[in-house]
Amino acid sequence: MGPDGRLSAMSIARLYGSGRPVFSFEFFPPKTDTGYESLYQTVIDLKRLNPDFVSVTWGAGGSTRRKTVEIVARIQRDIGVTAMAHLSCIGSTPEQIEQTLAELAEARVENVLALGGDRPEGYEPPPGAFTYASELAAFIRSTRFDFCIGGACYPETHPLAASPEVDLENLKRKVDAGVEFLITQLFFDNRDFFDFCDRALAVGIDVPIVAGIMPILSAQSIRRMTSLSGAKLPPALEAKLAEVGHDDALTHDIGVEWATMQCRELLEHGVPGIHFYTLNKSQATRNIFQNLLAT
């Protein structure tokens, strides 16, 4: 705690040099007031697992900019967990981004995730808006604020990249611009992650690469998410999901089992951290942690 009793934030990049795996959770801003209270309760529930930090996403087209700032500030101030705000190129001028950074700094949030963002249909960028995460990272680094900057990466290649090689070139550009650690998009085959880490290191990307894990809660929703992200479901996992059909309870069990298997193997191979995409729910993540502690 600081001298005024407020939580002293922690640079997330330093956590990855601690010699132990770092665990973190991701949430998104809800659409209703009831959803916000439910979210805070979920964060409180998951705090019992002692996460190293949590992150809060940035809505499509910058639609939740204000709420993202409010949520990370409240999580860090009132719940007492280091929080990271996602920032996107979409929908904001450089002046608006700098104002957001000032608000985060005032709340003693010192970690941000710089993202290119998904362009909504018919999107018209505001004057001076950035296009790529590398531009956003460089801008953040150029301001008066001393933020720790993270970035995103795609083990199975960004859906819009011309090739895996071009994707890595773009990623290297982002790291050179000031990104200090990378969190992967969701994936379900660890071989894709290990291969990606090897290829990234071969082109000089030597920052920590954190595994992004999403427990499957619904077969329908995960197929929609994988179609958007370019991730694939391994045949063995597809077969398990097909066996249970639309039974969400059984799908949940399969998702927890598969994610537990992934996490065990990743930890055995010395992954610097695991970042859970919680979908604002706590049960699956708690179950995975219980499984990991039992081994």
Reply yes or no on whether 26 is catalytic. Answer: yes
CA–CA separation, 221 vs 216, rounded Å?
8
CA–CA separation, 51 vs 212, rounded Å?
14
Cβ-based neighbours of 147, under 8 Å, separated by 6 or more: 101, 104, 105, 110, 111, 112, 140
Strands (E), 187-235: 209-213
DSSP class of 276: E
CA–CA separation, 175 vs 14, rounded Å?
16
Q: Which of 26, 110, 135, 156 is catalytic?
A: 26
> SS3 of 278, please?
coil
Q: Strands 111-115 and 83-88, how do they pair?
A: parallel
- Tokens (6 digits) for 161: 């990249």
Q: Which residues of 181-207 are buried (b: 16+ CB within 10 A; e: fewer)?
A: bbbbbbbbbbebbbebbebbeeeebeb
> SS3 of 160, please?
coil
Q: With contact defined as beta carbons under 8 Å apart, do 251 and 241 qualify?
A: yes
Smallest CA-to-CA distance from 207 within 224, 230, 184 is with: 184
CA–CA separation, 152 vs 275, rounded Å?
12
- Centre a 10 Å sphere on the Cβ of residue 259 and count the other Cβ atoms it contains: 23
Active site residues: 26
